[in-house]
Structure 1
Amino acid sequence: MRTTTLGSKGPEVGVVGLGCMGMTHAYDPAGRDDDASVAVLRRALDLGATLIDTSDVYGPFTNEELVGRALSGHRDRAVLATKAGLVTGGSTGGSAPGLTRNGRPEHVRQAIDASLRRLGTDHVDLWQLHRVDPEVPVEETFGAMAEAVAAGKALQLGLSEVSVAEIRRAQSVHPVASVQSELSLWTRDALAEVLPYCVDQGIAFLPFSPLGRGFLAGRFGSAADLPADDWRAGLPRFQDEALRANQALVETVREVAGRHGATPAQVALAWVLAQGPRVVPIPGTKTLRYLEQNVGAAALELTAQDLAELDALPAPVGGRY
């Protein structure tokens, strides 16, 4: 796979990474299989999808344990990223249900040590603030996280779901290597300000849910297609009326895919990759077949006509959360 750098100073990563949340959290509870997920993680490394993204709150905690198991004996092949700053209990109003924000310095200091134990490593390559806590100045949270860098527990720091103003405030304390936010053909908010700022600053941009939580791959024609007890069933865009209205987006993606002999997922990912040289989408999957399709998007070159058609797609019906 072709590569880019995680921020202006590296390390080198494949241009498509792997998001691990769905292996233990939020999506398709009945379809989880730890052994299959371990196989997906190791195959991702073989294919060059070296950026592996997890978080302490996924599970909670079980996702990091699973990733640690998969990377045992393979740690030097991965660029390992995890997060802190969300805890179970309540709701952030902008994340999976049952989560609240905790950016207190004492919390993040404890969180890095706990993450390292679960991951079975002495450091992570990228440690990210999962969400800014409105009750704690971001400078205080990021300053505590910078202590982990000084101690060798994290090599670089990143942020998730932040504004340009918040990035600047964090930068006043410590360099920001990456920003992770949702970006896909049906969530393009970051294109207005955040992504251009990242490009200007040499900050890597890591789109999560680049396939619209599976919708852009053409998997869901109605709410009945969702797995039982799946978190997505409660999201506005996955209600039947919205799903029907949003099929027009998928049809255009399918048309572009047909011209290239590609899958809709590959086209959706190729569009994300076209948004900048340090844009590294992290699609999640626990299936080898989908992993290999996702990685194949790195070799798909969309034409100017393709990009124009995709750029012209209307905004989706329904909010993100």
Structure 2
Amino acid sequence: MVPTTTLGTTGPTVSRIGLGAMGMSGMYGRSEDAESTATIHAALDAGIDLIDTGDFYGSGHNETLIGAALSGRRREDVTLSVKFGAMRGPGGTWGGVDNRPDSIRNFLAYSLQRLGVDYIDIYRPARLDPSVPIEDTVGAIGELVEAGYVRHIGLSEVGPETIRRATAVHPIADLQIEYSLISRGIENEILPLCRELGIGVTAYGVLSRGLLSDSLRSNSALAPDDFRSHSPRFQGENLRQNLRLVDTMAELAAQHGVTVAQLAIAWVLAQGGDIVPVVGARKVTRLTETLGALDVHLSAADLAGIAAAVPDSAVAGDRYAPAQMAQLDSERTTVGQS
């Protein structure tokens, strides 16, 4: 079974690895609901109880899928982490962020309905809304906590100033933010501050959207509807340079008798018990591979060697396109970091 940890000093106890469900709703190309449902069931059966979603993933499809998969399961056996605020339009277009208090209550009502539950374990704005003070956003979620519709408040992709201001309003369980062997920007200020304030970290992008795995080494062709086909790290010479880093990782992984993905997950797990990797797996086979990372034990020398062999300074391309990078409050403190 999967070991557990507590998110920060005020958050829930969750599995040491979480399941990220975004890829089950078309962000990485076509997915099959039946296979996604089987993956959710396999994760729960293995002891993964943290499931992360967003109300905008597939414009509600992801929550509906999860709700159906959880039907018949005990509510208390699942920790649901939900992001809100990203606006979608017909045809999958994006329309900015809305974190106004009235909007939050509206978003939550729809999430509860789609998920088929009467409370959300961790509720968080997906991005900072520059037109709404974070105090207003957190205060509104705090009222939902008092009303019993939300258990804990989380944040996503915000920087130190925003974290401090949010914490002054209400205890924050965790910060969800990208963190991987090749995206280490949070180590400078954000991670130390979270530890100072007793805030856990749920790390997404641990596999850098599949880059840190074997999936692209033999075939790097991406479908037009795959999010990565527009991501800087997956373009032309950037991708070729990044795959050379992955080849180096593959050599290191072979020395440990594991896959590239398992080594990447194990590296993040080893950075501290307060960091929970949220790994996106759309198929049971990928989930099984993910679980294998729990059996990988890396010494201090191993960790240092891996970090030196695959430096984040050698990564080509930002983690998002320019328009999306501009929305990341967290990047205000990590300029020049991958």
TM-score range, shorter chain: over 0.9
Asked if structure 2 preserves the Cα contact closer than 8 Å seen for 1:81 and 1:126, the reply is yes
Amino acid across the alignment from 1:60? S
Q: For 1:30-45, what aligned pairs fall within 5 Å after superposition?
A: 32-45=31-44
- Counterpart residue number, 1:261: 257
For structure 2, the 5+ residue unaligned runs are: 321-338
1:164 and 2:160 are equivalent in the alignment: yes
Contact 2:11 2:174 in 1 (8 A): no
Contact 1:216–1:250 (CA<8 Å) still a contact in 2?
yes
CA distance in 1 between counterparts of 2:237 and 2:188 reads: 28
> SS of the residue aligned with 2:278?
coil
SS of residue in 1 equivalent to 2:132: coil
* Residue ranges of structure 1 left out of the alignment (5+ in a row): 91-95
Match of 2:333 in 1: none
Residue 93 of structure 1: aligned partner: none
Identity %: 45
- The one-letter code sitting in structure 2 at the alignment partner of 1:82 is V
How far did residue 58 of structure 1 move?
Answer: 0.5
Q: Does 1:52 align with 2:51?
A: yes
Runs of 4+ aligned residues of structure 1 deviating over 6 Å after TM superposition are none
Following the alignment from structure 1 to structure 2, what is the Cα–Cα distance between the partners of residues 222 and 78? 36
**In 2, distance between residues paired with 1:201 and 1:48?**
28
- Residue 260 of structure 2 aligns with an amino acid whose one-letter code is P
Separation in structure 2 between the aligned mates of residue 157 and residue 66 of structure 1, nearest angstrom: 23
Q: Does 1:304 align with 2:300?
A: yes
Amino acid at match of 2:299: T
Deviation at 1:227, TM superposition (A): 3.3
Aligned residues: 314
CA contact (8 A) 1:108 1:144 kept: yes
Aligned residue runs from structure 1 range 117-128, under 5 A:
117-128=113-124
Q: Which amino acid aligns with 1:88?
A: R
What is the DSSP-based 3-state SS (H/G/I as helix, E as strand, rest coil) of the residue aligned with 2:59?
A: coil
Aligned mates of 1:45, 1:294 — CA distance in 2: 14
> Using the alignment, how far apart are the partners of 1:68 and 1:260 within structure 2?
38
Q: Are 1:76 and 2:76 an aligned pair?
A: yes
Establish whether residue 182 from structure 1 lines up as the match of residue 178 from structure 2: yes
Distance 1:283 1:149 in 2: 27
Superposition RMSD in Å? 1.7
Deviations 1:212-240 (Å, cap 9, x if unpaired)? 10010032248842234211011111012
SS of 1:257 mapped into structure 2:
helix
**Aligned partner of 2:94 among 65, 90, 98:** 98
1:54 touches 1:81 (CA, 8 Å); kept in 2? yes
Instruction: Name the structure 2 match of 1:8.
Output: 9
What TM-score, normalized to structure 2? 0.89
2:87 corresponds to which residue? 87
The residue matched to 1:250 in structure 2 has which SS?
helix
Q: How far 1:110 moved relative to its partner? A: 1.0
Aligned pair partner of 2:190 in 178, 191, 194: 194
Q: Distance in 2 between matches of 1:206 and 1:97?
A: 27
- Displacement after TM superposition at 1:106 (Å): 0.8
